[in-house]
């Protein structure tokens, strides 16, 4: 069933169901969101080429976001959610670079004559990723693939119609689409709007909205675990999820002790949607694994050690890796292994190599060795060299230790030619709202200091 047909069915049978609510007490029903969607639809009528073409939009989480999403699908367009936290000035060029014909953001509606061919009618949404080049790359998903991601997430996490998700991550991120937007469309799972990522606001929003499921990212887990809060429980929350980046085991344990709730690691990617989930949170605290594959997801270790993911949620349009039935497959950049119980243990990321004195050095290996040192929470290695001489390794670590202590620890586990020449110690890594390392900032830490 097409996603907007799911919406129409919910409008018919549950017009007064509360789907979105705010801590202020304001709420939006299926009917009220649909009124907004009809209004958006009238504005979209102005776009001459919309069927099968990308319509970029950047709105904050809320009823308008959901209403516009439904309106784009009803008009036959392909929704292209943009990061509301990104540079608004770049939105138009981003949409045009991937073949889009319109942009809707805080500045209003803009459209232009597109040159790209219309996408097949089964395509409903495109996700963007910067990839290794830094240039936006689109991945197109069908109605069935997006619905499959929502189904796999709900089944694997036990999220049902009576749950309420607290949304502090954007609806349009791959994480938000699978955990907020698809469950809302599939089963009417309500979404509570978080005001901010400040710990006190999060706690207040949880109390005010009676949210039961909290999809978070590691920096937010850290902020809550270490904040001076007057509470030792998080409202009615029964499930805390962490995705978007590596969750240190010590942090998961600290959070669990503070709030008497396990943090359950969730692993996924833009191209595949959700992949694995640690449903009980036991492996998250020990860093043994990132959980077992969600129902319907198959994960195997390739000959190179990288993980190969197959499921009905994986993008298939333009994907050369497909099964005989047409299901998409993706060879991830992450290395890993499959444990005896089926859980997936990550073993570093395909970050590339640098050459030093004619020998290849894996940046992922340097990061893995650094993270294994006692007292190190995160590690990030770079092969850039601001001096322009022979390439060398810079390492940024999240730790309370000094660079000399880190350097001493690395001597025991890395040969001299693999050791970083530059080490920066930070109490906390800069991250994006998705929980990813803010790599440009980390690079600046390495290049802005003399060694």
**pLDDT reported for residue 115:** 72
**pLDDT reported for residue 388:** 40
pLDDT at 358 over 70: no
The mean pLDDT of 378-400, rounded to a whole number, is 75
Q: How far apart are CA 300 and CA 281, in angstroms?
A: 22
More confidently predicted of 444 and 235 = 235
Which residues lie below 8 Å from residue 126, measured CB to CB, with a gap of 6+? 54, 78, 79, 80, 98, 138, 139, 140, 141
pLDDT-based confidence at residue 230 (cuts at 50, 70, 90): confident
Of 72, 95, 78, 100, which is closest to residue 7 (Cα–Cα)? Answer: 72
**pLDDT reported for residue 387:** 40
pLDDT at 245 over 80: yes
pLDDT digits (tens, 9 = 90+) for 52-90: 999 999 999 999 999 999 999 999 999 999 988 776 778
The mean pLDDT of 398-417, rounded to a whole number, is 91
Angle at 22 (CA atoms; ends 102, 254), nearest 5 degrees: 105
CB-CB contact of 214 with 266 (8 Å):
no
Whole-model pTM? Answer: 0.83
pLDDT at 131 over 60: no
| 353-390 as b/e: b if 16+ CB within 10 A | ebebeeeebbbbbbbbbbbebeebbbbbbbbebeeeee
- For the chain, give the percent of residues with pLDDT over 90: 69
Q: How far apart are CA 90 and CA 390, in angstroms?
A: 35
Q: How far apart are CA 35 and CA 29, in angstroms?
A: 10
pLDDT-based confidence at residue 450 (cuts at 50, 70, 90): very low
**Where are the chain's structural domains?**
1-349, 353-447
Of 130-144, 216-230, 260-274, where does mean pLDDT reach its minimum?
Answer: 130-144
Of 192, 224, 231, 184, which is closest to residue 209 (Cα–Cα)? Answer: 192
pLDDT-based confidence at residue 320 (cuts at 50, 70, 90): very high
The mean pLDDT of 422-436, rounded to a whole number, is 83
pLDDT digits (tens, 9 = 90+) for 333-350: 888 999 999 999 988 666
Most confident range, picked from 42-51, 153-162, 356-365, 416-425? 153-162
The enclosing H or E element of 300 equals strand 298-301
pLDDT digits (tens, 9 = 90+) for 172-222: 999 999 999 999 999 999 999 999 999 999 999 999 999 999 999 998 999
The mean pLDDT of 354-370, rounded to a whole number, is 76
pLDDT-based confidence at residue 385 (cuts at 50, 70, 90): very low
pLDDT at 132 over 60: no
The mean pLDDT of 255-260, rounded to a whole number, is 95
Q: Which fold has domain 353-447?
A: GMP Synthetase; Chain A, domain 3 (3.30.300)
The DSSP result for 90-128, as a single string, is GHHHHHHHTT--EEEETTEEEE----SPPPPTTEEEEEE
pLDDT-based confidence at residue 130 (cuts at 50, 70, 90): low
Q: How far apart are CA 192 and CA 171, in angstroms?
A: 12
pLDDT-based confidence at residue 368 (cuts at 50, 70, 90): confident
pLDDT-based confidence at residue 435 (cuts at 50, 70, 90): low
pLDDT-based confidence at residue 133 (cuts at 50, 70, 90): very low
Q: Thinking of the domain 1-349, which architecture would CATH place it in?
A: 3-Layer(aba) Sandwich (3.40)
Most confident range, picked from 66-70, 93-97, 218-222, 365-369? 66-70
**pLDDT reported for residue 351:** 60
**pLDDT reported for residue 384:** 61
């Amino acid at each position: 069933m097409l996603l907007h047909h799911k919406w129409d069915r919910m409008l018919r049978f549950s017009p007064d169901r509360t789907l979105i609510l705010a801590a202020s007490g304001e709420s939006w029903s299926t009917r009220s969101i649909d009124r907004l969607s009809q209004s958006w639809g009238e504005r979209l009528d102005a776009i001459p080429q919309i069927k099968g073409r990308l319509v970029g939009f950047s709105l904050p989480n809320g009823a308008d976001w959901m209403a516009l999403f439904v309106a784009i699908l009803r008009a036959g367009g392909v929704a292209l959610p943009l990061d509301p936290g990104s540079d608004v000035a770049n939105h138009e060029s981003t949409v045009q670079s991937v073949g889009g014909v319109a942009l809707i953001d805080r500045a209003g509606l803009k459209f232009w004559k597109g040159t790209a061919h219309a996408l097949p009618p089964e395509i409903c949404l495109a996700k963007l990723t910067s990839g290794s080049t830094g240039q936006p790359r689109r991945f197109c998903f069908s109605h069935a693939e997006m619905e499959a991601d929502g189904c796999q997430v709900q089944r694997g996490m036990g999220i049902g119609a009576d749950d309420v998700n607290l949304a502090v991550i954007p609806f349009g991120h791959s994480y938000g689409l699978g955990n907020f937007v698809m469950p809302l469309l599939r089963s009417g799972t309500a979404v509570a709007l978080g005001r901010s990522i400040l710990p006190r606001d999060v706690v207040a929003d949880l109390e005010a909205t009676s949210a039961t499921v909290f999809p978070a990212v590691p920096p937010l887990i850290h902020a809550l675990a270490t904040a001076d809060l007057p509470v030792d429980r998080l409202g009615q929350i029964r499930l805390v999820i962490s995705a978007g980046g590596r969750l240190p085991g010590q942090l998961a344990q600290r959070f669990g002790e503070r709030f008497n709730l396990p943090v359950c690691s969730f692993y996924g990617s833009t191209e595949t949607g959700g992949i694995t989930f640690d449903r009980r949170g036991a492996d998250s605290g020990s860093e043994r694994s990132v959980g077992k594959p969600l129902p319907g997801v198959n994960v195997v270790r390739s000959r190179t050690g990288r993980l190969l993911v197959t499921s009905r949620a994986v993008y298939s349009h333009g994907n050369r890796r497909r099964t005989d039935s047409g299901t998409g497959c993706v060879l991830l950049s992450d290395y890993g292994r499959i444990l005896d119980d089926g859980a997936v243990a990550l073993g570093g990321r395909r970050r590339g190599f640098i050459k030093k004195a004619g020998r290849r050095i894996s940046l992922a290996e340097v990061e893995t060795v650094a993270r294994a040192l006692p007292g190190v929470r995160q590690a990030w290695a770079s092969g850039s060299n601001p001096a322009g001489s022979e390439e060398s390794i810079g390492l940024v670590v999240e730790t309370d230790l000094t660079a000399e202590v880190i350097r001493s620890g690395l001597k025991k586990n890395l040969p001299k030619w693999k050791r970083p020449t530059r080490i920066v110690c930070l109490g906390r890594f800069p991250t994006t709202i998705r929980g990813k390392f803010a790599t440009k900032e980390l690079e600046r830490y390495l290049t802005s200091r003399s060694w």
